Structure 1
């Protein structure tokens, strides 16, 4: 069986960046993508999301993002950009290929990695994992979720604001996506905003220096082997011009997390007499939008035992090893932790390709 020098899993921003830099270094590789078409997670975003709504799309290496007028659907515009990039650089993408697991096979001479996808396998000396988070939506568990009679949706299933017109919607989550959803929903319907923590608002401009500081704080967690947090967890929240009307209507008057759900809404506090369905505060809602984030899509790496005792995959402590799994230096992670943003993904793709090249060179020397 052919032995590749590297396999990249995922063809989103981070995967394409890694493939570009691997190709420039002459590393023989393949990119395995689970989707039917180019675009990464962008192709799955809701139709109502336009280019004027997105927080920004970083340029792929050697290919600036085409100018957008703002009205274009993001789930069409960005995938078209990615598709053109794959063609222009002749990147070796195979799709649809859904990877099941990655194993290390001792006794194969160079201790190769074997990538499994159904009945297909690839053997490789190194691996770049770029699977992101989109396929791992996170919904916390709260009492009464199974009895709530209204609609419950996560970010991945968000159909746009018109779907909720005339219904009272409770948005749960304290991140940038929750702020954005409220900005779109409140002008067309009644909303409630519920978060576990008091939101921290950012008033000063978010310049490149602030971005680097935020990424550095997220890097500290993954270098310590902790599960990564989102960049916005350290940057704070900002309201954009398109959220001004929602703010005027009171969309960002936050409530603490409810204690339980009931068939027609949510309850805060325990009833002193212990009467079910009653409490210090009850709010009726017709739908719940769980803007509660995602988890890294890395279950297929479980056979490699990369997780630290602290729950995360520990990465290297230097810039050169910032994408390298300390438990197995053959494995690079991009789109993980600090590189989960589009800007961080490009830097991570370059760092991962450099690390792969060093690993291959050290084997040749050995």
Structure 2
């Protein structure tokens, strides 16, 4: 049996909930379909020591300030999960958990959303699936012959899983720096951190509040035809959260250049130098999880879906939310997703 709604939101993490808040305010009939069995989005799958870049009051979804976490300036992932679960309940958002969307198709003047629990027919769809379910691993010689353990950011949990091991952490972004610091600060683990280029730490007084302001200013400059300021990239790559700062100041975050190959028992650099390792942690990023949109045929030659704001350029009934700056400045962050969510819902309401 096909069910009907004005709008179906695919994904019940922070972006999906922000969309739900604005859909509720517009009085639209909607359903949020979420693959996870419980509230919290990707935050419920993060590593144990992860903390936000910003204080709670600057990490909030629309309509509800995140409460401070006792004893913490920067809340941990568990606190974010609790906040999102409370947000979902507080606004009585219709989230159907444990529901995976497999395809979105055109069906006359509607879009058909096919999930493993049934089919929905909607006037518009908001895709808010994020990137966590699609980790990226680079192609590198020897990766299939390495006899040790290979983890991605999505699989890493804590130093306790790496006791008495030499671990190589790959990646010069925030995840790489934070996981390298997490391991380096544990005396039971030997760590080598490798990056494609020398790591660039932001000034210690810069956190998510400043990054959001910079990203927003860049988007406004581009929208008004002014030159690109490079946004956050002009400041650096790594936010010096307390654990990263401690490891860096202790001399524990001296990165080596990227190795050229994995060997059976470790890695090898371009000059022939080798190092044995039991575990490699790939902190090499993610790609947007958009396979459910494949039937719409919207991807260009490089796999990118062209958008005007959040709206798909070639399908006005589809909006993409929370995937990064290409769907709204800082839209992959808690504080940044509110405005593009509001704009997307306003456009949908105007469809009539």
The answer on whether the counterparts of 1:45 and 1:74 sit within 8 Å (CA) in structure 2 is no
Structure-2 separation of matches of 1:10 and 1:38: 11
2:336 is paired with a residue whose SS is helix
Residue matched to 1:101: 103
User: What is the 5 A alignment of 1:205-220?
Assistant: 205-206=205-206, 208=209, 210-215=211-216, 217=218
Residue matched to 2:191: 191
Residue matched to 2:126: 128
Residues 200-223 of structure 1: CA distance to partner in whole angstroms, max 9, x if unpaired? 33237437565333356579999x
Residue matched to 1:45: 46
Identify if the C-alpha distance between structure 1 residues 221 and 303 changes in structure 2 by more than 3 Å, giving closer, same or farther.
Answer: farther
The answer on whether the counterparts of 1:42 and 1:74 sit within 8 Å (CA) in structure 2 is no
Residue matched to 2:341: 349
User: What is the 5 A alignment of 1:317-332?
Assistant: 322-332=309-319
Residue matched to 1:281: 273
Moved over 6 A (4+): 218-222
Identify if the C-alpha distance between structure 1 residues 145 and 76 changes in structure 2 by more than 3 Å, giving closer, same or farther.
Answer: same
The answer on whether the counterparts of 1:136 and 1:296 sit within 8 Å (CA) in structure 2 is yes
The answer on whether the counterparts of 2:212 and 2:336 sit within 8 Å (CA) in structure 1 is no
Instruction: Tell me which protein shows more strand as a share of its residues.
Output: 2
- TM-score, length basis structure 1: 0.83
Unmatched 5+ residue regions in structure 2?
224-229, 326-330
Identify if the C-alpha distance between structure 1 residues 47 and 187 changes in structure 2 by more than 3 Å, giving closer, same or farther.
Answer: closer
Deviation at 1:301, TM superposition (A): 0.5
The answer on whether the counterparts of 2:99 and 2:117 sit within 8 Å (CA) in structure 1 is no
1:54 is paired with a residue whose SS is coil
Residue matched to 1:226: none
Residue matched to 1:6: 7
Count of aligned pairs = 332
The answer on whether the counterparts of 2:166 and 2:190 sit within 8 Å (CA) in structure 1 is yes
Deviation at 1:95, TM superposition (A): 1.5
Identify if the C-alpha distance between structure 1 residues 218 and 309 changes in structure 2 by more than 3 Å, giving closer, same or farther.
Answer: farther
Unmatched 5+ residue regions in structure 1?
223-229, 270-278, 317-321, 362-366
Residues 107-128 of structure 1: CA distance to partner in whole angstroms, max 9, x if unpaired? xxxx210000126110001011
RMSD over aligned Cα atoms:
2.6
The answer on whether the counterparts of 1:314 and 1:325 sit within 8 Å (CA) in structure 2 is yes
User: What is the 5 A alignment of 1:1-366?
Assistant: 1-49=2-50, 53-56=51-54, 58-70=59-71, 74-106=76-108, 111-118=109-116, 120-188=118-186, 189-203=189-203, 205-206=205-206, 208=209, 210-215=211-216, 217=218, 233=233, 235-236=235-236, 237-269=238-270, 280-316=272-308, 322-338=309-325, 339-359=331-351, 361=352
Deviation at 1:60, TM superposition (A): 1.9
Structure-1 separation of matches of 2:264 and 2:221: 42
Residues 210-239 of structure 1: CA distance to partner in whole angstroms, max 9, x if unpaired? 5333356579999xxxxxxx9865542232
Residues 316-336 of structure 1: CA distance to partner in whole angstroms, max 9, x if unpaired? 1xxxxx211111111111111
Identify if the C-alpha distance between structure 1 residues 312 and 73 changes in structure 2 by more than 3 Å, giving closer, same or farther.
Answer: same
Structure-1 separation of matches of 2:313 and 2:177: 36
Structure-2 separation of matches of 1:285 and 1:216: 43
Structure-2 separation of matches of 1:219 and 1:304: 30
Structure-2 separation of matches of 1:14 and 1:161: 30
- TM-score, length basis structure 2: 0.86
2:341 is paired with a residue whose SS is helix
Bigger CA radius of gyration: 1
Deviation at 1:345, TM superposition (A): 1.5
Structure-2 separation of matches of 1:95 and 1:240: 33
